[in-house]
Structures are given as structure tokens and as C-alpha cells.
Structure 1
Amino acid sequence: MIVRPIRDTKDDAEAVRTVAASALDGPWPPERSIRHTARTRHLARTDPGGCWLAHADDGRPLATVLSSRREGTWGLSLLAVAPEAQGKGAGRALLARALAYGKGCLRGIICASADPRAARAYRAAGFALHPAMRLSGDVDVAGLDAPDGAVIEGGPKQRDMMDSVDRLRRGGAHGPDHDELLRHFACLVCDDLAGSGYVYVGEDGTIELLAATSRRIATRLLTAAMLSLGPGAHAHVGGLTAEQQWAVDVGLAARLDLAADGFVALRGMRPPEPYVPSRAYL
């Protein structure tokens, strides 16, 4: 097995996508594949020391890991091992490299699946495992109240505000990740006397990331995001720890289904609140 850094190339991004799709829940729709490729190349540029690919001697990709450092907050964006390589140490070796990249970071965050092997590995690395929930289903707008204040379209002009809210909620700004998120998701923001916050919404109804200075603002943003999808559109909100009851309330009002969703694994921090993490950008 050969382990090397991931390069910012189409071929390496395709290798990462191939491993992830085989190990997780592929094949994927085109939109998700495009976002996955863009995320890989973005992290290969910003965090080359945290992104690794393992492949067989014949060049077949076997395992991959993507991780990032943002102002003292380390995040694991992806850890995937192809089925034929599972249980042979590839995942453990790559996780060790990603954790080494985060050495010195005060905080760490992982959106983990329910896979018991992953849970054991993250707990052994010192992460607290917080059970998570997800909301999904077709939106029933009849159950949603109108937002209690202004929500506007966000963009590069709100970067400073969004980074400030990130620091408040997770201890480190997303920084360059916002540039990448703005390329692939609609962004809604609040910034008034009541508080500040933002939410990213995918065309497929995924709530990719939400952060706010208060539950009131978070509720306003999530409600606006649901309404922006339109009646009957599919929505998905994942990574909700028990602290995010405000999000559960909005989702249940929209008649979404509530189910278990693995763990949010944290080190050096309590569950951010109000906050909906991004599995890709955390």
C-alpha cells in the first residue's frame, strides 16, 4: 500500500470520489458528485498536509482522508476505505496522519456515521461522542410561521460577519471554506439588532451549514430556508445534537421525519449551539 498527499487535480479528486462512493452510499447524483470533487480539490489546496490517499501497487485507490485546520479548530471532512481494504489498517493509518495534521489545535469536530468501527477509532483519539439526529422529508409549509424578521441573500460582502459568527460558535472561522460554499449553495443571512447568522441551502434541499448568534436567529434562518425550497420539496438537516431542539421544532413543524444520524464527535469543545454542522466543512 502506498500513501501519498492528495493533489489538486481532477484525477486525484476522482480517486477520492471513487473510494468514498464505494465505501459510503454511492453511486451519487451528478450534483453531489460535483460538490464532492470541488470539496476535495479545495481542501487539497488549503490543507495539503491533512489530505491523503492510499492506493495499491497497481494504482487502485483504497482509502482516503480529508481534514482541515481553521484558526485552531481541526475538522475531519472525510475518512473512507474501499470495501476490499477494510479491516486491514488503511483507515487507521490515514486517520493517524490526519490527526497529526491537527496536532496543536485546541478543538476538533467530526460528523461521524453510526459505524461502530469509526466510533471506536474516534473515541480512542479522545473525542466525545454526542448522539445526533437528522430531519428529512417533504416540506409542508402550512405548518411554518413566517420568519420573525428580515432574511436576505448572502454573498462575499457578508464574509466578515459569517467568520465572526463561526468564531463565536465553533472557535474558528471557516475562512476560505465560505468562498467554496458560496459557489455551490444558496446563502441566506440575518444581520440586524436581534443578532446575526447564516445558512447554506443546496438545490437538493440539504441544509449544508447554519450558524447564528441566538436560537431566535437560527430559527428564523432555518424557517426561511425551508420556505425557500417551496411546498413539497425534499429537505434534509443532519448532525443535530440534543442542543439543537430549536431545529427539531422547525423540522417537525414542517412535517419532516426525525431519525438517528450517527454522532457528532468533539474534542476540546462542547456541542456548538445554535449550529448545524456541515459534514464536508464542519
Structure 2
Amino acid sequence: MDSVQVRPMREDDLHRTERASDVTFLDGDRIGARVGDPEPEPRSVAGQKEWIDRMRHFLTVDPGGCSIAVDGDAVVGFAISQNRDGLWFLATYGVLPDYQRAGVGRRLMDAALAHADGRPGLFSSSVHPGATRRYRLAGFSLHPQMRMVGTVDRSTLPAITGLDEGRADDLAWMDRLDQDVRGAGHGPDHGYLLDTQRLVVSRENGRPGYVYIDGQGRATLLAAAHPETAEKLLWEALASSRGDTLVNCITTANEWALDVGLAARLDIGQEGYIAVRGMKDPAPYLASGHFL
């Protein structure tokens, strides 16, 4: 579409970009909904604020990776990517339904990949056929990912020892662990997550690990030096859950997470792909959808 321009995102674009994101992903959720799934709903007011705060963080840390597509004053697409040391990740990407299949997504992805400047890359992908075709043509390997959902059977919870509440002075060794597991530290993202979520760590010598747990008791980012540590951290997150919970971004390299979820009486489902380029599928690791 000749009227659409791709340009860097600014602070005053955040609210309109959030609205475009909500419409785009709600449409995708409705198209991809399986029989028996609950009807997808728009973001709550709290969810809107959380999304805007997260994207403001990315815009502050690495503005060169934040691009939007605009048609006049309307935001019609977005690609928010970030460089952390030698790793690039795509935090979120989408195009409004009426602007899909018109080259807008390709232009946004070109901008994001140009920002990567050849770095290895990592992101969580939907099953949208146009998007996955674009990712594969860009050289990404697509690893099918699973999720586990349900209510934890609390009679299955084991006694867990060796874990502590995380602190700011843990972030340095956590970054070193990230480098071993995924090739680069999370850097400033750890500070953001520490301010917004609960951090639980294992400081065991030779077997460190950490997990961030959101307000609903869900593991949102987990890394460990050994699968046994990863299992303990995931059990701690499951013990924190209230009602239905979700364990997301599980790849075959992380089957330890399936074993924990099955033991807790959760159900396995399929959920898109983890896309990697120039690197292995991280393990033991559960990626965050936005912070990877």
C-alpha cells in the first residue's frame, strides 16, 4: 500500500501501537482458536498499561529496534526488536488484518532484521502461515513449542529446598548464566522484570538458576544450568499458581518441563514455534514471549 510508511516508533506512538497490537492479536487468536477454547477477549485496562510500560522499556533501552507502520495518523503495524550484546530478539510483531498480504509485514520485518545486523536471533512465533513463511525465508529454524494448561493438583507438589527469593545483587550471575544458556545476557531486562515480578533463584554452586513468576503465579522466564534445578524452579512457580495456570514456550529440548507439568496434572497443547537463527534452541530454558 503506497500510503503506508514504516518509521521509527516514538513515545507518543505507544498508545496507538498498543491498540493496533490488541486488534491484531485478538483477530489471530479468534482465527486460531480450537474447539473448546474460551472466546478470546480484548486486553484488560491493566493489560493495556502493562503492554505500554513494557514497550516503553524497549523504546528506552534500544529505540533503533522499534518500528511502526503508519497510514496517515493510524498505526497499522509494528515490529519491536532488541539487541542485547551479541543476540537479537523480536519482542512483538504484527499487522492489522486489513493491511496484511500487502507487503507491510515484509517491510517491518526487513527493518527489524536490519537492526539485528547479523546477530544470532530468537523469538516466539505464532502459526500464521504468512509470518512463518517470512521467518523461514529469513533463515530461522522453527522449533514447535508446547504449552501446559490446567489447575495444579496440589497433592502432587513436592517439598522443594535450596531456593531463595531473588535480589538485585543476583542479576550479575544471572546474566552470566544467560550467556551460557542463550548466548547473551538479558541485561537491563532483568532490572525491569525484577521491578514487576517475583524472582526466585537457586544459588547452588555449579547449578544456579532463576525463574520470574508473574502476579498469577505463572513462570514467565526461566533459566538454569541443570535440568534438576529447572524442575525445582518450575515446581515453585506451580506452587504459587492460583486457579488455572499456564507453562508456555516448551520445546523438545526442554522436555523436563513436560515431565513437571504432567506430574502436576496439567494438559499438553501446541502453541506456535520458537524461532532461532545462528544459535541452538536454549535449554534448560523457558523463554518469555516478550523478553525471550
TM-score with structure 1 setting the length = 0.94
**Aligned residues of 2:218 and 2:237 also touching (Cα < 8 A):** no
Q: Which residue of 2 aligns with 1:109?
A: 122
Q: Give 1:3's aligned amino acid.
A: V
Q: Which residue of 1 aligns with 2:247?
A: 237
Q: Which residue of 2 aligns with 1:176?
A: 188
The answer to whether structure 1 residue 2 and structure 2 residue 5 are counterparts is yes
Matches within 5 A, 1:1-282: 1-7=4-10, 9=11, 11-25=12-26, 27-57=42-72, 59-105=73-119, 107-147=120-160, 149-193=161-205, 195-229=207-241, 233-282=243-292
**Aligned residues of 2:213 and 2:220 also touching (Cα < 8 A):** yes
* Number of aligned residues: 275
1:30 is displaced (CA, Å) by 3.4
Distance 1:205 1:80 in 2: 28
State which drifts further: 83-92 or 121-130: 83-92
**Aligned residues of 1:144 and 1:223 also touching (Cα < 8 A):** yes
1:155 is displaced (CA, Å) by 2.5
**Aligned residues of 2:124 and 2:289 also touching (Cα < 8 A):** yes
Instruction: Give CA-to-partner distance per residue, 1:211-233, whole Å, 9 cap, x none.
Output: 00000110010001111225xx2
Distance 1:191 1:114 in 2: 37
Distance 1:229 1:264 in 2: 25
1:194 is displaced (CA, Å) by 5.2
**Aligned residues of 1:4 and 1:54 also touching (Cα < 8 A):** yes
Q: Give 2:113's aligned amino acid.
A: L
Match of 1:24, SS state, is: helix
Match of 2:203, SS state, is: strand
Distance 1:123 1:227 in 2: 38
Match of 1:244, SS state, is: helix
Q: Give 2:96's aligned amino acid.
A: A
Instruction: Give CA-to-partner distance per residue, 1:17-68, whole Å, 9 cap, x none.
Output: 11111110351123432221111101111111111111112x0110001001
Distance 1:90 1:260 in 2: 28
State which drifts further: 73-82 or 22-31: 22-31
**Aligned residues of 2:84 and 2:187 also touching (Cα < 8 A):** yes
1:136 is displaced (CA, Å) by 1.4
1:31–1:206 Cα change, 3 Å: farther
Distance 1:135 1:44 in 2: 32
Instruction: Give CA-to-partner distance per residue, 1:234-270, whole Å, 9 cap, x none.
Output: 2111111111111111111111111001000100111
Seq. identity, %: 38
1:86 is displaced (CA, Å) by 1.1
**Aligned residues of 1:205 and 1:234 also touching (Cα < 8 A):** no
Q: Give 2:279's aligned amino acid.
A: M
Match of 1:173, SS state, is: coil
Distance 1:4 1:193 in 2: 47
